[in-house]
Chain A
Amino acid sequence: MALDSKVPEGPIKDKWTIYKDKINLVNPANKRNIDIIVVGTGLAGGSAAATLAELGYNVKAFAYQDSPRRAHSIAAQGGINAAKNYQGDGDSNYRLFYDTVKGGDYRSREANVHRLAEVSGNIIDQCVAQGVPFARDYGGLLDNRSFGGVLVSRTFYAKGQTGQQLLLGCYSAMNRQIARGKIEMFNRHEMLDVVKIDGKARGIIARNLITGEIERHSAHAVVIATGGYGNVYFLSTNAMGSNATAAWKIHKKGAFFANPCFTQIHPTCIPRSGDYQSKLTLMSESLRNDGRIWVPARIEDAKLIQQGKLKPTEIAEENRDYYLERRYPAFGNLVPRDVASRAAKERCDAGYGVNATGEAVYLDFASAFERYGKEQAKIHGIKNPSKEKIKELGQAIIEQKYGNLFQMYEKIIAENPYETPMMIYPATHYTMGGVWVDYNLMTTVEGLYCIGEANFSDHGANRLGASALMQGLADGYFVLPYTIGDYLSNDIRTGAIPTDTKEFDDAEKEVTDRINFFLNNKGTKSVDHFHKRLGKVMWDKVGMSRNEKDLKAAMAEIKAIREEFWKDVMVPGAANEMNVELEKAGRVADFLELGELFAKDALIRNESCGGHFREESVELDGEQKGEAKRNDKDFAFVSAWEYKGEPADAVLHKEQLEFKDIELKQRSYK
């Protein structure tokens, strides 16, 4: 099967407009006869469900939580980008497009990204109309801030809770449609399979997580909006329930899975403190605007710190290694996420880590306290302020800017970050890979769509800050509602899809067989036991830094863990009740397959790209010596995998990426 991206002809800036003018529409009276299933109700799924219902379709929405308001989009802190140019600093659709393609290390699809930039402004209008309380300036207009990797202020924000407020905005739009009866909401339901009839997606099998009942739901089209698969690492910044099951199940039914190895490792997370740890907490990237990152310059100091015998404040300035400022004088502490993450790992691997596990670096605000303190003393006319006074004044400014983050840190670590530097370490955050979709956001299965983080198209090998929320809402509010209509215009005479067919029987049987297997297996080890082992292989061998030998070993190890899992997993309880272990078992079974494909994808990508450092692909000389080396000649493609049974047997299809409007350039932050 040849991959067809269906990118429309014409100049890039006109593609979306021309496309919209030419597609087929569905008459409002006919929309009432068409059903759409949306799985996942975060920013992408929630906005899609609300808009499709608004248009008149019958929407059935599914969420594993008790409410759409709990989706993990809610945890996004920083903001959402839009090319409004309200600040008059030269922003434009083209610049947002350019920054996103460059930031993604030239591995995203140009036409999709341009469309994203085009609709970005509409997102802000829509959210403001819904009552999202974005930050305002004193003139009453919307405020903006700047984020990593760009030269303009285009990030709109609502305190440090932008994701929460945007999600509550689309949640309120959903509530309006639920009240009108246009959305039928299935809370605490999990999709366990997709149903195909004559090659088209026509429904899903879902489990009611309260009663355990297996349900059949039919529709004319199915939309997957279930987020990313970062929990394949066991420890990540994802919510505990975030999983890959829906995306993986559709992969097994014919949807290609693209670039699984593209995972964002975020540099500023609270480090792991012990083996019992269940997840990692992200600290907003904005902290790097004022914090300086360092480790001890002398290995003996590092050892004493690790043993708790020396405090960071006791290490003199000249014995500190501000390694980002040393290596990247132009960008310093503000290098992009991938560069900062890799540099932290390099220092920790060399033995300079600063906590008991040796996996942490310092993020130090002492010089910011001093800088802001001196400025404040001048502003307030304080002559010859004492050191303490300067610190106090400076701390007050930092508290205004990042108070909630400092408090969060103190609650978790029980150390006051105003008195001692924060400890941070990289962690898995967002997955840029996902289900392959064409320009219409349709997968390789007809009538099956995939939007938001669950698809692959817009972020390339590296996601810039404040662009995930943008893509989720762009897909849901403004892209899918057009593209799905074009497809559904052929379905106006189909009528309701019956669920008592062989296809539904077969899919349901597959689901129930698997559930029964788990409950009857009577093994000796818990689901978490296997998940943790998978996570360790993923982090050690398929993490930030990769090589051929380790990747091959990882594939074999994951396969072995998977075989042991199916022999020895134990799931207590019954099928017809709420059973949390059973839910986890199904999800980890899927991660154990996805993990192996992930390693296989990393193995074929013999280039360093985005956050993915391939040890065999480094610059050998010149100014960039030792830095990541991208290889456009051989790897400017999307790897799209076709399921063939075992993950090791998956077949690679390549979508060659074309860069007609943006010149391919090496990124440099020196």
Chain B
Amino acid sequence: MNLTLKIWRQKDAGSEGQMVDYKVTDISEHMSFLEMLDVLNEQLVNAGEQPVAFDHDCREGICGMCSLYINGEAHGPDRGITTCQLHMRMFKDGETITIEPFRASAFPVIKDLIVDRMAFERIQQAGGYISVNTSGNTQDANSLPISKHAADEAMDAAACIGCGACVATCKNSSAMLFVGAKVSQYALLPQGQIEAADRVKNMVAQMDLEGFGNCTNTGACEVECPKGISLDNIARMNRELMKANL
């Protein structure tokens, strides 16, 4: 395949960015999208130019590092995947592909297609944990039975990889799916219940402080989420918050 790529180039956080056109040729449909960008970068390096910076690491769809807004969709035109799992067979010969960073004021651009998702870190630090001593003197694991249903539901919420697609695709740049997933995991389990009220209040307060928008139940986040995290988690977070404020 031969393709035209329109890519956002931005030197650093303080510089202005712009779309730049590139051509790549002989792209195999078996390549992953990121391997196609590798080909472009090899081409740029051989010409002595700076390659396009983009985030990626495990390339197995689980670390949550890769991002990219491709043809107007977070992680591109396929469902239930991250960008590293997107393959070139989803595109046609001669196509023009637009590649932008995840855009949200809480995710400032670091360089080219790389954004800063530290806001997610600070939300987690505000209470996304159970205050247990890491001493190894905790009670025997089976002394705390948890129903299979609750454990499975907690696992579904915990499957969030923190990639930020939910924020990128939301018209309000809301982080509620991400925060809802984390709050839900702990709300569904007996551990850490004693601090549940503080947890949800602190995490939501930090989320607002970071400049994420509110949820208007559009549901775009659930559609674009690579791990199928459900909107139910947002509802649960809202219930937890109400309960905490009563």
Closest to B58 in A: A239
- Decide if A278 touches B130 in the complex (CB within 8 Å): no
- Residues from chain B with Cβ under 8 Å of A187 in the complex: 118, 121
- Residues from chain B with Cβ under 8 Å of A133 in the complex: 151-152, 154-155, 158, 185, 189
- Decide if A66 touches B142 in the complex (CB within 8 Å): no
Cα-based distance from A435 to B28 in the complex (angstroms): 40
Interface 1/0 per residue, B54-67 and A, CB below 8 Å = 01111111111100
Residue of B32, B53, B124, B189 with highest tally of chain A CB at under 10 A: B124
Interface 1/0 per residue, A271-300 and B, CB below 8 Å = 001101111011000000000000000000
- Decide if A129 touches B62 in the complex (CB within 8 Å): no
- Decide if A164 touches B62 in the complex (CB within 8 Å): yes
Residue of A72, A128, A141 with highest tally of chain B CB at under 10 A: A128
**In chain A, residues 144-183, which have Cβ atoms closer than 8 Å to a Cβ of chain B?**
158-159, 161, 164-165, 168, 171-173, 175-176, 178-179
Cα-based distance from A277 to B136 in the complex (angstroms): 43
Cα-based distance from A85 to B3 in the complex (angstroms): 57
- Residues from chain B with Cβ under 8 Å of A171 in the complex: 124
Check A411/B85 contact, CB under 8 A, given A176-B131, A276-B31, A578-B12.
yes
- Residues from chain A with Cβ under 8 Å of B161 in the complex: 164
- Decide if B144 touches A128 in the complex (CB within 8 Å): yes
Q: How far is the CB of B34 from chain A (nearest CB, A)?
A: 7
**A406 an interface residue at 8 Å Cβ cutoff?**
no
**B159 an interface residue at 8 Å Cβ cutoff?**
yes
Cα-based distance from A239 to B62 in the complex (angstroms): 10
**B223 an interface residue at 8 Å Cβ cutoff?**
no
Cα-based distance from A175 to B129 in the complex (angstroms): 7
Q: How far is the CB of A606 from chain B (nearest CB, A)?
A: 36
Check A122/B148 contact, CB under 8 A, given A240-B59, A580-B53.
no
Cα-based distance from A528 to B35 in the complex (angstroms): 13
Residue of B48, B62, B80, B192 with highest tally of chain A CB at under 10 A: B62
- Decide if B151 touches A126 in the complex (CB within 8 Å): no
- Decide if A477 touches B129 in the complex (CB within 8 Å): no
Q: How far is the CB of A468 from chain B (nearest CB, A)?
A: 15
- Decide if A129 touches B142 in the complex (CB within 8 Å): no
Q: How far is the CB of A36 from chain B (nearest CB, A)?
A: 15
**A137 an interface residue at 8 Å Cβ cutoff?**
yes
Cα-based distance from A126 to B129 in the complex (angstroms): 13
Cα-based distance from A128 to B139 in the complex (angstroms): 9
- Decide if B145 touches A572 in the complex (CB within 8 Å): no
Check A577/B11 contact, CB under 8 A, given A125-B139, A173-B134.
yes
Cα-based distance from A441 to B236 in the complex (angstroms): 44
- Residues from chain A with Cβ under 8 Å of B70 in the complex: none
**B216 an interface residue at 8 Å Cβ cutoff?**
no
Q: How far is the CB of B110 from chain A (nearest CB, A)?
A: 6
- Decide if A66 touches B89 in the complex (CB within 8 Å): no
- Residues from chain B with Cβ under 8 Å of A477 in the complex: 134, 136
Interface 1/0 per residue, A571-592 and B, CB below 8 Å = 0110001101100000000000
Cα-based distance from A411 to B59 in the complex (angstroms): 13
**In chain B, residues 36-66, which have Cβ atoms closer than 8 Å to a Cβ of chain A?**
38-39, 42, 44-46, 48-51, 53, 55-65
Cβ contact of B87, chosen from A185, A241, A412, cutoff 8 A: A412
- Decide if B65 touches A70 in the complex (CB within 8 Å): yes
- Decide if A74 touches B42 in the complex (CB within 8 Å): no
Cα-based distance from A178 to B158 in the complex (angstroms): 21
**A497 an interface residue at 8 Å Cβ cutoff?**
no
**B138 an interface residue at 8 Å Cβ cutoff?**
yes
Q: How large is the interface on A (under 10, 10 to 19, 20 to 34, 35 or more residues)?
A: 35 or more
**In chain A, residues 75-125, which have Cβ atoms closer than 8 Å to a Cβ of chain B?**
75, 84, 86, 119, 122, 124-125
* Total residue contacts A-B, CB cutoff 8 A: 219
Q: How far is the CB of B60 from chain A (nearest CB, A)?
A: 5
Closest to B39 in A: A276
- Residues from chain B with Cβ under 8 Å of A322 in the complex: none
Cα-based distance from A477 to B136 in the complex (angstroms): 7
- Decide if B60 touches A281 in the complex (CB within 8 Å): yes
Check A572/B50 contact, CB under 8 A, given A67-B117, A128-B191.
yes
- Residues from chain B with Cβ under 8 Å of A172 in the complex: 124, 128-130
Cα-based distance from A141 to B144 in the complex (angstroms): 8
Closest to A52 in B: B134
- Decide if A129 touches B132 in the complex (CB within 8 Å): yes
**B116 an interface residue at 8 Å Cβ cutoff?**
yes
**A54 an interface residue at 8 Å Cβ cutoff?**
yes
Cα-based distance from A119 to B141 in the complex (angstroms): 14
**A140 an interface residue at 8 Å Cβ cutoff?**
yes
Q: How far is the CB of A243 from chain B (nearest CB, A)?
A: 11
Q: How far is the CB of B51 from chain A (nearest CB, A)?
A: 6
- Decide if A142 touches B141 in the complex (CB within 8 Å): yes
**B186 an interface residue at 8 Å Cβ cutoff?**
yes
- Decide if B136 touches A179 in the complex (CB within 8 Å): no
Cα-based distance from A278 to B51 in the complex (angstroms): 16
* Residues of B near any A CB (own CB < 8 A): 11-12, 28, 30-32, 34-35, 38-39, 42, 44-46, 48-51, 53, 55-65, 78, 80-81, 85, 87, 89, 110-111, 114, 116-118, 120-121, 124-136, 138-142, 144-148, 151-152, 154-155, 158-159, 161-162, 185-186, 189, 191-192
For this complex, 19 residue pairs linking A to B, each with C-beta atoms less than 8 Å apart, are A65-B57, A67-B118, A75-B62, A84-B141, A129-B141, A131-B189, A133-B189, A136-B148, A141-B142, A164-B159, A165-B158, A175-B128, A176-B125, A176-B131, A274-B28, A278-B32, A411-B78, A477-B136, A572-B45
Q: A131-B189, A412-B87 are in contact. List 12 more A-B contacts (CB 8 A).
A: A66-B65, A69-B64, A69-B162, A70-B64, A74-B62, A187-B121, A408-B60, A408-B85, A477-B136, A573-B50, A578-B110, A578-B111
Q: Which 8 A-B pairs have the closest CB atoms?
A: A140-B145, A172-B129, A129-B138, A128-B141, A133-B154, A136-B151, A133-B155, A122-B136
